[in-house]
Structure 1
Amino acid sequence: LAQKQTKLTLFFFFFSSVSRSNEQGQLVLRALADQGAPEPYTSARLVSKVSLTENQGYISADIQLPCAKGLWPAFWLLPTEPHDWPRGGEVDIAEAFGKNSTTISCYHWGGYNGTEEKAKHRVAQSKPSGMCSGMVNYSFAWRQPGGKKGSPGQMVWYVKGRPVMKAEVAAGTRPLSEMEIILNLAMGGNVMNNVKPDYGAYQMVVGSLYMASEPKNGGWAQFEKDWKIAPMGA
């Protein structure tokens, strides 16, 4: 990372046939529901070719998320392969479900079977204005000084610059420095209760995406303040 910020250029990502840039140079992920195709539903997914690499940092993106039934867009982090999901950890910087104009911030490191596993999740909901019609900034800051598996650390999620959730790094999870960035626009599935979108084309537009060595507007001093006021994910 550069001292202040490093732009993530598009060649850092693997492009599927339904991912491209538009005339404004924005990244566009297109999901297709084509009744006449042999495979009627095609999702879009991009995975970074580099991990976060640092023990502390900040990642930010301006994204217009689609709002329609059966859609599941997400901006998230997973450990590099091979990994033991979900025990290795999963960070959802922003995801949305269907028509609901709500974004979800999440941290997962366990399953949903049994009381102990169900406690291994942190979740917060936000309702940013203009989410379905324009760009919204979603950001994530992390500090994990030890930089090893299970090292203690702190994480804060932001929507439009406002801290909306915090969580401590869970014991036994992979280091955040080994996380890679994922952008995807999925359709249907169990999370959507198997509701499928209407036939047509849908898009998730990414106006900017960058990483920095410290949070925007105040650096780590501001992070300490945000940590104090951000709600712990439920």
Structure 2
Amino acid sequence: MSNFRIFICMLLLLGYGEYSFGQQGVDSGKKGWKLIWQDEFNGKKLDESKWNVLTRETSKHEELQYYVPDEVYLQEGSLRIRSRVRDYGNKKFTSGRLDTKDKLAITYGRFEIRGKLPVGKGLWPAYWLYPQNRDWMMEYIMKQAVEAGRERSIPELRPWYTEIDIMEFLGHEPNIVYATFHYTSFKGEGRSSSSTYRGTVNYGDDFHIYVLEWEPDEIRWYLDGELIHTAKEGVPHTDHFLIINTAIGGTWPGNPDSTTVFPQFHDVDYVRVYQRE
């Protein structure tokens, strides 16, 4: 082979190598988005300047877990949430929940999470956004005003409750991912916009990329680069923080049964947050 051909082959190999690295690097160059926050989970312990790890008994939705900090840790370059059978307080299961409240809370942005999900009846992992400054009293006053026919007395901003579920997953449906937005109408009516995505793979077998793009006029959900849902009504305009958790049991997933294997692990390779340039 001539020196010229060798030179061309080397250029092609180098170009391919740079492309591969760019695809797997920290910032993959999302057009129009600027990386503002990230956690690659490459250290020896969780970065507490970025995350809060909860200790909480959770009875909402009749869930069965007690959230405890020792079920949240780093292992082999990933965040791991362990869920297991364990007597703790008045609960028979423990699991993990962490959030960015008071540490990262933004209005509008792109949230990208690469995760591998736990499977089995009763497992309920989720990535979701929750209002940083939820005004419970204002919500109560507004609700009373609507019921009394005094709707015009409510502030135009109307800071009703919202919740944006980037990803929800029921462990007994391993090929299904839910994308949901809970919001309140201008008149105070609770509403939701949701999509049920039926994939061709088991989302507990490997890592997949879950993305939410929140703009002033719409919210978009992506799974492995595919658009799976869009919501345009009720889009919030206030700061929200990120929550990552695995619940066990409850009214929606049902409770673990004899087929459920414990412990189960919910692994997160990275979390990256962007805003418009």
Smaller-chain TM-score bracket: 0.7 to 0.9
Find 1:18's aligned residue among 54, 62, 71. Answer: 71
Higher radius of gyration, 1 or 2: 2
* Offset, 1:181: 0.2
Change beyond 3 A, Cα 1:37–1:109: closer
Change beyond 3 A, Cα 1:26–1:83: farther
User: How many angstroms apart in 1 are the aligned matches of 2:90 and 2:230?
Assistant: 44
Structure-1 residue corresponding to 2:106: 53
Conserved? CA contact 1:105–1:124, under 8 Å: yes
Are residues 1:108 and 2:182 paired? Answer: yes
Change beyond 3 A, Cα 1:140–1:36: closer
User: How many angstroms apart in 2 are the aligned matches of 1:199 and 1:132?
Assistant: 13
User: How many angstroms apart in 2 are the aligned matches of 1:180 and 1:125?
Assistant: 24
Normalising by structure 1, we get a TM-score of 0.73
Deviations 1:58-82 (A, max 9, x none): 1101010111101110011110144
Structure-1 residue corresponding to 2:19: none
Find 2:170's aligned residue among 97, 101, 113. Answer: 97
Comparing 97-106 with 28-37, which one deviates more in the overlay? 28-37
SS of structure 2 residue aligned to 1:189? coil
Amino acid at match of 2:165: D
Change beyond 3 A, Cα 1:73–1:36: closer
* Offset, 1:36: 9.3
Conserved? CA contact 2:71–2:83, under 8 Å: yes
SS of structure 2 residue aligned to 1:27? strand
Are residues 1:207 and 2:269 paired? Answer: yes
Conserved? CA contact 2:105–2:132, under 8 Å: no
Superposition CA RMSD, Å? 2.8
Normalising by structure 2, we get a TM-score of 0.62
User: How many angstroms apart in 2 are the aligned matches of 1:48 and 1:185?
Assistant: 16
Change beyond 3 A, Cα 1:210–1:92: same
* Offset, 1:167: 0.5
User: How many angstroms apart in 2 are the aligned matches of 1:7 and 1:143?
Assistant: 17
Are residues 1:180 and 2:241 paired? Answer: yes
Structure-2 residue corresponding to 1:121: 192
Find 1:76's aligned residue among 128, 135, 142. Answer: 128
* Offset, 1:35: 6.3
User: How many angstroms apart in 2 are the aligned matches of 1:178 and 1:7?
Assistant: 15
Amino acid at match of 1:106: T
User: How many angstroms apart in 2 are the aligned matches of 1:205 and 1:127?
Assistant: 21
User: How many angstroms apart in 1 are the aligned matches of 2:245 and 2:270?
Assistant: 15
Are residues 1:164 and 2:228 paired? Answer: yes
* Offset, 1:8: 2.4
Conserved? CA contact 1:65–1:131, under 8 Å: yes
Amino acid at match of 1:59: F
Listed as ranges, the gaps of 5+ residues in structure 2 are 1-26, 28-32, 40-46, 54-68, 140-158
User: How many angstroms apart in 2 are the aligned matches of 1:133 and 1:83?
Assistant: 40
Conserved? CA contact 2:72–2:79, under 8 Å: yes
User: How many angstroms apart in 1 are the aligned matches of 2:194 and 2:246?
Assistant: 20
Conserved? CA contact 2:114–2:271, under 8 Å: yes
User: How many angstroms apart in 2 are the aligned matches of 1:196 and 1:68?
Assistant: 7
Are residues 1:88 and 2:166 paired? Answer: no
* Offset, 1:26: 0.5
Q: How many residues align?
A: 194
